[in-house]
Structures are given as structure tokens and as C-alpha cells.
Amino acid sequence: MSVQGSDLPAVGPALYWGVKKSFRDYVRGAMGEITVVAPAFLHGDQVVFPADPQAPGAPADGVLRFRGAVRFQAHYGMLDVTVREPWIDTASGTLTVEHGGVDTPPRIPLASLPGALSGGDAEEDDGMLVRRDLPARLVKEGAAVFKFTYPEGTELDPVTYVAPRSI
């Protein structure tokens, strides 16, 4: 699949997300590291999280499941944030991630994505739906991922996803 006239790499269904530019800049400025865990990969400043082809029910249940992770580390390990296995629930407009902290469930909501199913700049190509630049805002539970550095409502980088048209 290639999205004609697009700057998106041709990987099929995927999530494209930089997480938060100011956070990336902070980590780099602190001489930290940003590590991407396969099958995710970097494309410019965006992490490309390919869809999980083995996910049961997807995408018929409206949940888009993506694989891989991005880890931000700085200050000799004092800052250690991982965004792992993001999913988008198109019905609720919520992006969730694996977290599994001591006092949290294994998946938690990270961001609200108003228009996850019907908003944003939509295109269709080869049976795929492309939603570009959906606004993303940190939700209360997601603040735990960032060790409560950012409050609820903080703007995150916009989200782009490619999914089967059947969702």
C-alpha cells in the first residue's frame, strides 16, 4: 500500500506519531536517548507503529492495535518513559498504551483523539483510510506515563493513522 502523493512510508496500516515535540527536544537537550523498539521505526521525527495483523477482532471491533514502542531516557535513568503498543479505540476516540505500573492496569488511556473515526483530514487509497493530523490531548490517566510532568489536557503531537476502510 502506498498513499499516493504522501510522505508516509508504504507499510500498510500503521500509526504515525511523534508523541510530544517539546519532550523529544528536552530528552535530546539533556543528552538522553530516544530508542525505538521493533517493529516500530523512526520516519523523521515520527515513530511508525505498524498494525498488529494478529490482533483478534481488529479492526471490526473499532480498535486499531499497533505494535512496537518508543523509550525516552535521560538523567542517568532518572527520566525513563516508554510508550508501548498504542491502540486507538475509534468509537471513544481514545489512544491507549501498555503501562503495567504498580498501581495501574496493564493498559491505560493516554490521549483523547477527537475525530478519531470521522475527524481530521481523511483520504482513501487502495481500500485504506488515512486520517491525518488528529489533535491529541493527554488524559488524566495518561499523565502517569509521563510521571505526572504534564497535566491532563496537555497538547501532544498530532496523530496520523492508516487503517482498513472497513473500520
- Per residue in 48-89, pLDDT tens? 999 988 775 556 678 899 999 999 999 998 999 999 999 999
What is the residue extent of each domain of the chain?
14-164
The DSSP secondary structure of the chain, one letter per residue, reads: ---TT-SS-S-SSEEEE---HHHHHHHHHTT-EEEEETT-EEETTEEEEEB-TT-TTTTTTSEEEB--EEEEEEGGGTEEEEEEEEEEETTTTEEEEE---TTS-SEEEEEE-TTTTT-SEEEEETTEEEEEEEEEEE-TGGGGTTTTSS-TT-EEEEEEEEEETT-
**How far apart are alpha carbons 62 and 59 in whole angstroms?**
5
pTM of the model: 0.87
**How far apart are alpha carbons 106 and 50 in whole angstroms?**
20
The string of pLDDT tens digits covering residues 133-142 is: 999 999 999 9
The answer to whether 52 touches 61, Cβ cutoff 8 Å, is no
How much is the pLDDT for 2? 40
**How far apart are alpha carbons 59 and 54 in whole angstroms?**
11
Q: Count Cα neighbours of 42 within 13 Å in the Cβ-side half-sphere.
A: 8
**How far apart are alpha carbons 161 and 93 in whole angstroms?**
13
Per-residue pLDDT band at 8 (split at 50, 70, 90) = low
Q: Smallest Cα–Cα separation from 89: which of 129, 53, 69, 59?
A: 59
